Structures are given as C-alpha cells and as structure tokens.
Structure 1
Amino acid sequence: MLKSCRLRIPLTEMVGFGKKLKGRQIQEWQGYYINYKLMKKKVKQYANQIEAGALDRRYVLKDFSRMLDNQVL
C-alpha cells in the first residue's frame, strides 16, 4: 500500500504560485513553458485515484512522465 506523502510547505508560499509563474513569463519564451495548471490538476487527480485504490503507482509514474516529456520536448 502506498503511504501518503505530503510536503510541508507553508500555504502562504504556495498560494498563487501559478499566477506568479504566468505573470513572470518572458514573452519570447512563452512556447517553452510547461502547462503548470494542467500538471497541477493531473497531480491532484492521481493522488485522489491512488488513495481510492483506482490507480497503480507504476501507471501514474509512467503516465506523468510521458505527460511531462510531452511538455518539455
């Protein structure tokens, strides 16, 4: 069984990170940024599905890795 792993980062540091990231993007590099909003959404979905026993951890790692590769290649 997969144990829940939670980072202990103060909430004040995480709130609005996506907005800050988007606001600080360099226009000329816009096509090279990852889709942070999509990645965050997928991580939440994976976590919920793993906790519910609906997904295997290996599948999640492979799927997320493939999605990340598509974002950076």
Structure 2
Amino acid sequence: MASNPYVKSLIWLVCSGGVGYGLMLLTEPSEEKLERIKATGGPAHLTNEELKKLQFMQRMREAATGEAPPIYMQKKEK
C-alpha cells in the first residue's frame, strides 16, 4: 500500500500541510508586538517621496470608489 504513488502523495501532502500549519502557529506575533508595529507605522515616519506615493494612492482609491470625481474630469474654475 505504501508503494502506491497516490498514497505517498497524500502522506506527503498531509505532512507538509501539518508542518506549515505548525510553523504558522509558531511564528504568530503577539498582540503587544502588533500594537507596537501599528504605533510606529504612522505617516510621521515616512519620507517625502513615500508621502507623495501615499497621497497619489489615496487619490486613485477615491477616484476608483467614486468618492471624488475622476482626476481627468476635473475642470479648473475661473
């Protein structure tokens, strides 16, 4: 039975899935660590170039969701 390739494949699949699940549980960060990461990840620590990228992505997200009119359709008022 162990010489059957389907059985071997199933055994390898179950074992590797178990190892992956075990590693996922082993490396799970604690709530304290997540809060510390969230606290230090604010926009105050971004460079000027990263701020420009963030603003661009926010404008694109607003245009995609319909919150703001698309950028290419905005007309300057005189």
Which protein shows a greater Rg?
2
Higher relative contact order (CA 8 A, sep 6+): 1
Question: What TM-score, normalized by structure 1, do the two folds share?
Answer: 0.30
TM-score (norm 2): 0.29
Question: Which structure carries more helix by proportion?
Answer: 2
